[in-house]
Amino acid sequence: MSADTVLLELRDVRAGFGSQTVLHGVSLQVREGEIAGIFGLNGAGKSVTMKVVAGIVPARRGDVVMDGRNITTVAPEDRVALGMAHVPQGRQVFPGLTVEQNLRLGGYRLRRRDKRRYGEALQRTLDRFPILAERRAQLAGSMSGGQQASLAVARALVSDPRIVLVDEPSAGLAPKTVEELFETLREVNRSGVTMLMVEQNVTFGLRLVDTANIMQRGRIVYAGPVADLDQERVAEHLGVGRLLGRGLSAAVQSHEAAAR
């Protein structure tokens, strides 16, 4: 597939809980090989959007399409089999299980379907995360927040996905750990894995993503490549000023340097 191929698309998606509608017609596209981000204030609908993509929250209207296939009613575990993986908000590793057991759970569907491919995916993941390889027998609950963040990403990768959904990866992490996670996610993307990410830390997120989608009250109100974003419009939608300006400028410079 080319870089212009749309791997994941949401078309006028509406969703919510009970009588409350949270998403009021969300439409966005994620292209093959990119990192797309969703940004917005608390309550904008970012995490609900991710849960709809993952199949955890059903869409009331609209379509979720992956690689040209409508997966709106496909169960979450079957989306994994199609090449989708999820790093949930709060990481949600299993604290009473070892690192290796957490990883095995991440590759459960692949292991049942193709043991050879699962073994290759597991080894690639352990090679990418040496600290996890060293601590395969350690209980996940005894690891630091940064190590658990790495484990959550690694657990998703063991399924050998085409696209990974990453929900609030920097939440609760120290700045140094956030930078390390930034490099990890970028390296995963360079290996060919597409990503859709929700991130509350705008300055961190804009440095990482290629395309930004700004949410407000359950809708995408502005979207585009990071290098082409209008700083004033983004600041207005997100309710931040100088901090975003510095972050957006750094993000643009980072993308320009990468392009060179």
- Please indicate, yes or no, whether residues 54 and 113 belong to a single structural domain of this protein: no
CB-hemisphere CA count at 13 Å for 6? 12
- Please indicate, yes or no, whether residues 143 and 55 belong to a single structural domain of this protein: no
Strand order in the sheet with 20-31: 20-31, 6-17, 61-66, 69-70
- Please indicate, yes or no, whether residues 70 and 132 belong to a single structural domain of this protein: no
pLDDT band at 249 (very low <50, low <70, confident <90, very high): low
Classify residue 187: in a domain, yes or no.
Answer: no
Question: What is the Cα–Cα distance from 18 to 20, expressed in whole angstroms?
Answer: 5
pLDDT of residue 234: 86
pLDDT of residue 235: 82
Q: How many domains would you assign to the chain?
A: 2
pLDDT of residue 173: 87
Indicate the SS3 state at residue 169.
Answer: coil
- Please indicate, yes or no, whether residues 5 and 79 belong to a single structural domain of this protein: yes
Q: Is residue 164 scored above 90 in pLDDT?
A: yes
Closest to 28 in 3D by CA, of 45, 12, 41, 4: 12
**Is the distance from CB of 214 to CB of 238 less than 8 angstroms?**
yes
- Please indicate, yes or no, whether residues 173 and 66 belong to a single structural domain of this protein: yes
Q: Which two tokens stand for residue 114?
A: 């193709």
Classify residue 186: in a domain, yes or no.
Answer: no
pTM over 0.85: yes
- Please indicate, yes or no, whether residues 76 and 116 belong to a single structural domain of this protein: no
Tens-place pLDDT, residues 30-70: 999 999 999 999 999 999 999 999 999 999 999 999 999 99
Range of the domain at 130: 91-161
- Please indicate, yes or no, whether residues 223 and 241 belong to a single structural domain of this protein: yes
- Please indicate, yes or no, whether residues 47 and 171 belong to a single structural domain of this protein: yes
pLDDT of residue 144: 92
Classify residue 128: in a domain, yes or no.
Answer: yes
Q: Is residue 250 scored above 80 in pLDDT?
A: no
- Please indicate, yes or no, whether residues 172 and 156 belong to a single structural domain of this protein: no
Question: What is the Cα–Cα distance from 98 to 102, expressed in whole angstroms?
Answer: 6
Classify residue 24: in a domain, yes or no.
Answer: yes
Classify residue 136: in a domain, yes or no.
Answer: yes
pLDDT band at 237 (very low <50, low <70, confident <90, very high): confident
Average pLDDT, integer, range 81-87: 94
Q: Is residue 1 scored above 50 in pLDDT?
A: no
pLDDT band at 238 (very low <50, low <70, confident <90, very high): confident
More confident residue, 175 or 253: 175
Question: What is the Cα–Cα distance from 193 to 202, expressed in whole angstroms?
Answer: 22
Q: Is residue 177 scored above 60 in pLDDT?
A: yes
Residue ranges of alpha helices (H) inside the chain are 46-54, 76-81, 99-106, 108-113, 115-128, 130-134, 145-157, 175-190, 202-208, 231-238, 242-259
- Please indicate, yes or no, whether residues 1 and 69 belong to a single structural domain of this protein: yes
- Please indicate, yes or no, whether residues 156 and 36 belong to a single structural domain of this protein: no
**Is the distance from CB of 23 to CB of 48 less than 8 angstroms?**
yes
pLDDT band at 210 (very low <50, low <70, confident <90, very high): very high
pLDDT band at 4 (very low <50, low <70, confident <90, very high): confident
pLDDT band at 256 (very low <50, low <70, confident <90, very high): low
CATH code, 259: 3.40.50.300
pLDDT of residue 233: 87
